[in-house]
């Protein structure tokens, strides 16, 4: 049985949405981070970083939302959340799958802390560049790979939902609003949002 370790109002939303999209049976294991449950020895066996989300699937265990998305999409191809390894779109899928933790999240931190990082040394370039590149990609739509929804949309959609809709750290743009509207219209997104609210 797949077990998803999660906590309300956290980055767990990405993986809740993933699991709801996958249609796979899974058990949600509430991990109350307000009490430090994520630091318990049993939890640290699943994710040594002591963070949610985390996932166990038989003998496999991992943390990091994008890695969990990659694992589920590859381990369970019947969920149709990733192009096949032989599909030319696989390269862009992988790029966008990891764009949220590699670019969107650092850009949000840069905006939130108002820290200046030279674009030549920042792995994400700059916050402006991140959101300009993302806007250009989303204008082609309806999804990040075109017509097919994938796990990459889950990581991108979750990042934008957090940055634009929930915390309003990133100014809204028409392409973001349209894309978020499509994400929010998905029944799996709605179920995940209800679960994440606690």
pLDDT for the residue numbered 119: 82
Domain shared by 71 and 109, yes or no? no
The parent domain of residue 178 ranges over: 90-187
Which residues lie closer than 8 Å to 10 by C-beta, 6 or more apart?
33, 52, 53, 196
In this structure, what CATH number is given to the domain that contains residue 131? Answer: 1.20.1050.10
pLDDT for the residue numbered 117: 84
Domain shared by 70 and 99, yes or no? no
Domain count, the chain: 2
pLDDT for the residue numbered 29: 97
Domain shared by 10 and 44, yes or no? yes
- pTM here is 0.95
Domain shared by 117 and 138, yes or no? yes
- Residue range 73-131, pLDDT digits in tens: 999 999 999 999 999 999 999 999 999 999 999 999 998 898 888 888 778 889 999 99
Domain shared by 143 and 122, yes or no? yes
Element (H, E) at 128: helix 127-138
Q: What CA–CA distance (Å, rounded) separates 139 from 3?
A: 36
Q: What CA–CA distance (Å, rounded) separates 66 from 152?
A: 8
Q: What CA–CA distance (Å, rounded) separates 100 from 154?
A: 10
pLDDT for the residue numbered 33: 92
């Amino acid at each position: 049985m797949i077990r998803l370790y999660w906590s309300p109002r956290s980055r767990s939303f990405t993986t809740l949405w993933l699991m709801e999209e996958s249609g796979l049976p899974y058990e949600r294991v509430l991990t109350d981070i307000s009490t430090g449950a994520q630091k318990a020895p049993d939890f640290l066996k699943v994710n040594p970083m002591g963070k949610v989300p985390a996932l166990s699937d038989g003998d496999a265990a991992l943390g990091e939302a994008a890695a969990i998305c990659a694992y589920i999409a590859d381990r369970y191809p019947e969920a149709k959340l990733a192009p096949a390894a032989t599909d030319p779109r696989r390269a862009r899928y992988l790029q966008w799958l990891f764009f949220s933790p590699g670019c969107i999240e650092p850009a949000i931190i840069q905006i939130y802390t108002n820290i200046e990082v030279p674009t030549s040394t920042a792995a994400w370039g700059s916050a402006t560049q991140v959101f300009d590149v993302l806007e250009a990609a989303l204008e082609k739509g309806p999804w990040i790979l075109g017509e097919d929804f994938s796990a990459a949309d889950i990581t991108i959609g979750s990042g934008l939902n957090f940055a634009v809709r929930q915390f309003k750290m990133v100014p809204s743009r028409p392409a973001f609003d349209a894309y978020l509207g499509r994400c929010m219209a998905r029944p799996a997104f709605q179920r995940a949002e209800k679960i994440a609210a606690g």
